[in-house]
Chains A and B, each alone.
Chain A
Amino acid sequence: QKEVEQDPGPLSVPEGAIVSLNCTYSNSAFQYFMWYRQYSRKGPELLMYTYSSGNKEDGRFTAQVDKSSKYISLFIRDSQPSDSATYLCAMRQGGSEKLVFGKGTKLTVNP
């Protein structure tokens, strides 16, 4: 079993839809949780960073962490065609610099 599981999709939604992206993890030592967005042939771009259970909101994006269930989510409200990208979850343990990534979910938002 991989430490971080993420459904690779692809996921296709109409413009304006609410998108839900999810990851599960098996390592209870993970303390820090991130979401990155990666456009084709580009480097990952940090979207959200959180370290506690609960919700964190930034504009149209909400990151949710449930440490008891080892489950994290990213919600995108009012999705736009420019949100079309691969979304990667990443996490790390306290005391380690190594980020462990999911496979990424490819999202397409159709106009």
Chain B
Amino acid sequence: DTGVSQDPRHKITKRGQNVTFRCDPISEHNRLYWYRQTLGQGPEFLTYFQNEAQLEKSRLLSDRFSAERPKGSFSTLEIQRTEQGDSAMYLCASSSGGLWEQYFGPGTRLTVT
């Protein structure tokens, strides 16, 4: 399977803990995106990388959130001091060339207790 992969698929954590998610994009896709989706809502944009450069960030990405893509391949999204409101599905997508169609991974479902 050469699609976008995300790890872990499900994470349960206690309020106040830090969590880190990983995304591996489709091979050779140079653009990578993070979105957050809560129940009954569409995904909301968080941030985007072109290669290793983080080029766009949403106001949703508070100072407790940080994303990296150190070598322009995989990316990590860290949430510090998690809150119950952080419970959501965190989706990663990647794209390359043409119309820059974004292809999504299966998501990481975060539950903060």
Q: A42-B107, A97-B55 are in contact. Are A103 and B42 (CB under 8 A)?
A: yes
Contact between A46 and B43, CB atoms less than 8 A apart: no
Contact between B104 and A103, CB atoms less than 8 A apart: no
Query: Closest chain B residue to A44 by CB distance?
Result: B104
- The stretch of B14-22, B64-72, B76-84, B94-102 in contact with A is B94-102
CB neighbours (8 Å) of A42 from chain B are: 106-107
CB neighbours (8 Å) of B27 from chain A are: none
Using a CB–CB distance below 8 Å, which chain A residues touch chain B? 4, 6, 8, 32, 34, 36, 41-46, 49, 51, 88, 90, 96-104
Contact between B99 and A44, CB atoms less than 8 A apart: no
Q: What is the CA–CA distance of A4 and B102 in the complex, to the nearest angstrom?
A: 18
Q: What is the CA–CA distance of A101 and B93 in the complex, to the nearest angstrom?
A: 14
How far does the Cβ of B50 sit from chain A's closest Cβ, in whole Å? 8
Q: A8-B40, A44-B43, A46-B101 are in contact. Are A98 and B106 (CB under 8 A)?
A: no
Contact partner, A43, options B42, B45, B99, B107, Cβ 8 Å: B107
CB neighbours (8 Å) of A51 from chain B are: 99
How far does the Cβ of B13 sit from chain A's closest Cβ, in whole Å? 19
Q: How large is the interface on B (under 10, 10 to 19, 20 to 34, 35 or more residues)?
A: 20 to 34
Contact between A101 and B42, CB atoms less than 8 A apart: yes
Q: Does B91 contact A (CB under 8 A)?
A: yes
CB neighbours (8 Å) of B42 from chain A are: 4, 6, 88, 90, 101-104
Contact with A along B8-50 (1 / 0, CB 8 A): 0000000000000000000000010101000011111100100
Q: What is the CA–CA distance of A44 and B55 in the complex, to the nearest angstrom?
A: 23
Q: Does B113 contact A (CB under 8 A)?
A: no
* Max chain A Cβ within 10 angstroms of own Cβ: one of B43, B48, B106: B43
Contact between B101 and A49, CB atoms less than 8 A apart: yes
A-B CB proximity, top 9 nearest: A101-B42, A43-B104, A98-B45, A97-B48, A43-B106, A44-B104, A43-B107, A101-B43, A88-B42
